[in-house]
Amino acid sequence: MLSKGVISNQPVSYYHSSRLGEMEIDKLIVTGYEPAWESLEGYSVPEWYKDAKFGIFIHWGVYSVPAFGNEWYPRNMYVKDSPESKYHQRTWGHQSDFGYKDFIPMFKGEKWDPDAWVALFKQAGAKYVVPVAEHHDGFAMYNSDYTKWNSANMGPCRDVIADLEKAVRREGLKFGVSTHRGFNWRYYTYSNEYDTANPENSGLYSPVHAEDEPASKGFLEDWFARTKELIDKFQPDVLWFDFGWHHDEFAPYRPKVAAYYYNKAIDRGKEVVLNYKATLPEGTAVLDIERGKLDEIHRYYWQTDTSVSHRSWGYIEDDEFKTVTTLVHDLVDIVSKNGNLLLNVGPKADGTIPDEAKHALLGIGDWLKVNGEAIYGTRHWLTYGEGETEVETGPMKERKAKSFTASDIRFTKKNNILYAICLAWPGEEVYIKSLGSKSAVNVDMISEITMLGSEEPLSWSQDGNGLYVKTPSKRPCRHAYTFKIVLKDSH
């Protein structure tokens, strides 16, 4: 076994097999990491990922056709008396006559231009792009060898993930994929009233089974094969997992998937990121917190995934979109605490991105054009920041978030530069309590203080209570304002 925290220059090679019940899990030739958590604790987060800070998530699939409720429409339309079920029967007919599968021919993507998507993402300042390769609904957005229910055979009749990968890599961005398939087994309701009970549709809905029945051996084997297929076909820089694989029956597979992914990356000379929500030991991959944040600097590098809107990850007709200010504040707060932001957009069924999402992305991009040096390539400082606004911690908490004020300041650093980012305009002077004369930064260490985007010289003073800096007469941007504090020595 490899030593903890060490990757050998001469990777270990060995033959591994194991069993889950009577089923033999695929035998793997692995190099570098063993499929055991002790070995996987040797993983290191790539510097490119820590430098990137900001990525784009994309939820585009058949669920964008009904555009009602949220991206869980495929599940909820089969839940008796749910708003989705009632809407479906009013609009499309009974689920026995018009099931989820019948939306697939309507999912055409006729206006989809992957190059236009990538141009928008670059304008937003994103450094990596992670589309959903397969959501819980069971419809693969790529030409899978394991299912006919995929976008190359049906719907748009295009290998969406392959086409997008080419466009992303042409522009020099990193490319990832997400897989949500692990929950497909528990996603649909089976009833003789619905088309989900028809064996001809089991490739999409999974075979009929009891609601509380663990995933079958066949499903687990297929899930593992599809996961390896994504790794082999697309060589993703980021592999993102939703929560479905947290169930007990997936436990033997989790270290095998991580080892397979990391070892393939070693073979290709790449440095990669595996994102997980739960069940993996800290230090073996990168924790992702859905629609939530942390209230302090995390020891291990982490990520928030959230969306430009509140109600749905996929496109719906009456979504509630966030302000650019909210999204910029999320980015700044997360980066100051040793994390990245993965921000989702939900395109329409025709392949176009809603105007509200475009506005949000372009607004972030405008802010980053002025303040990007305080984000890209930075690391967290001794403290993430200061201020009276409490940050809710953990997943699914963003609805409880309070608006930041001028007293809320976040820090990042790069070499001998400390950035203090005010999350609202501080008026004629900013007072930074964390930078008093008894702090790690005293007045003798400061070479210069400026505000990014402004050429006005700034005056400052310091005492035991804090650092006082006069602001420019004109605001250089909106949303948040960065003081660049150049130090004589690196801190």
- Quote the radius of gyration of the chain (alpha carbons, Å): 24
Residues near 269 by beta carbon (within 8 Å), at least 6 away in sequence: none
Asked if 238 contacts 273 with a C-beta cutoff of 8 angstroms, the reply is yes
* Alpha-carbon gap, residue 466 to 409, rounded angstroms: 13
Domain of 457 in residue numbering reads as 385-487
Mean pLDDT of 452-474: 97
Asked if residue 3 belongs to a domain, the reply is no
In which band, very low, low, confident or very high, does the pLDDT at 10 lie, cut at 50, 70 and 90? very low
Give the pTM: 0.94
Same domain, 214 and 67: yes
Domain boundary among the residues 217, 252, 284 is at: 284
Tokens of 237: 């820089």
Q: Residue 332, by phi and psi: left (phi above 0), alpha (psi -120 to 50) or beta?
A: alpha
Domain CATH code at residue 213: 3.20.20.80
Asked if residue 130 belongs to a domain, the reply is yes
Structure confidence by residue, pLDDT tens digits, 265-316? 999 999 999 999 999 999 999 999 999 999 999 999 999 999 999 999 999 9
Number of domains in the chain: 2
Write down how long the chain is.
Answer: 491
Domain boundary among the residues 231, 257, 284 is at: 284
Same domain, 260 and 396: no
Asked if residue 239 belongs to a domain, the reply is yes
Structure confidence by residue, pLDDT tens digits, 404-455? 999 999 999 999 999 999 999 999 999 999 999 999 999 999 999 999 999 9
Query: Cα-flanking dihedrals φ and ψ of residue 255, to 5°?
Result: -65, -30
Asked if residue 350 belongs to a domain, the reply is no
Structure confidence by residue, pLDDT tens digits, 343-378? 999 999 999 999 999 999 999 999 999 999 999 999
Same domain, 276 and 403: no
* Alpha-carbon gap, residue 126 to 342, rounded angstroms: 9
Asked if 164 contacts 129 with a C-beta cutoff of 8 angstroms, the reply is yes
Domain CATH code at residue 453: 2.60.40.1180
Query: Cα-flanking dihedrals φ and ψ of residue 300, to 5°?
Result: -100, 145
Same domain, 399 and 267: no
Domain boundary among the residues 284, 308, 323 is at: 284
